[in-house]
Chain A
Amino acid sequence: DSGVTQTPKHLITATGQRVTLRCSPRSGDLSVYWYQQSLDQGLQFLIQYYNGEERAKGNILERFSAQQFPDLHSELNLSSLELGDSALYFCASTPGRDLSSYGYTFGSGTRLTVV
């Protein structure tokens, strides 16, 4: 157990629908990152939150949005889903303020299948 919790583990939904993926960072970590991993693809950065504020955006579609709540958990909302959105979605956390420890701790991911 990495300490980063992602739910649900699997999600099957139809095109056009909306889903919410949840991430609880490791205790004490302030930064949360979302990554998308498509089949046989690398990890594509979507968005970063630091202590409740959006810090950086990557290749995140306008149909996708995210937020980080006061308790530091984060949610990634995917709407108007398309077949191509099927992928593994990973959340990672870091302490943020601790410059001596940069390493990401990843969750086990949510596998989204759009049918």
Chain B
Amino acid sequence: GENVEQHPSTLSVQEGDSAVIKCTYSDSASNYFPWYKQELGKGPQLIIDIRSNVGEKKDQRIAVTLNKTAKHFSLHITETQPEDSAVYFCAAGKGSSMNTGFQKLVFGTGTRLLVSP
């Protein structure tokens, strides 16, 4: 089955710096790679996702890159702010046929990001 590894487990940056979180996956059939942000006491919230037919996607200060050959994908946060402090999870999954519905996502172990003012 799919296995997702995520690094680093913790990341401390100064406000305004960039932060990069990296993930690798094992199943070459995976075609959907979302990133979730989990704040204390809340459920994970989707912040950006990428599908295997694109190599990069950007949304304001957040970008995700995908290297299908190497089976890794990364989250880039620029101009970090204290409110970016949270746990970030990457995940990998496979879209499925309409008969079976979407197959489960496999999550990385999370990265605790701390942005200091």
Contacts and interface: CB of A to CB of B under 8 A. Distances in A.
Interface of A: 2, 4, 30-31, 33, 35, 41-43, 45, 48, 50-51, 55-56, 58, 90, 92, 94-97, 99, 102-109
Contacts of B44: 43, 90, 104, 106
Given A2-B43, A42-B108, A109-B43, A102 B34 contact: yes
Contact of A42 (B32, B95, B98, B109): B109
B111 to A, nearest CB: 10
A66 to B, nearest CB: 14
A-B residue pairs, 7 tightest by C-beta: A106-B43, A96-B101, A50-B101, A42-B109, A43-B107, A103-B46, A108-B43
Contacts, number: 71
A42 B101 contact: no
A94 B93 CA distance: 13
Interface residues of B, number: 25
B32 A43 contact: no
Given A103-B49, A108-B43, A45 B32 contact: no
A106 B107 CA distance: 13
Interface string B71-107: 0000000000000000001000101101011111111
Given A43-B89, A102-B34, A103-B34, A50 B46 contact: no
B45 interface: yes
A106 B102 CA distance: 15
B101 A30 contact: yes
Contacts of B43: 2, 4, 90, 92, 106-109
Nearest to A43: B107
A109 B44 CA distance: 9
Contacts of B61: none
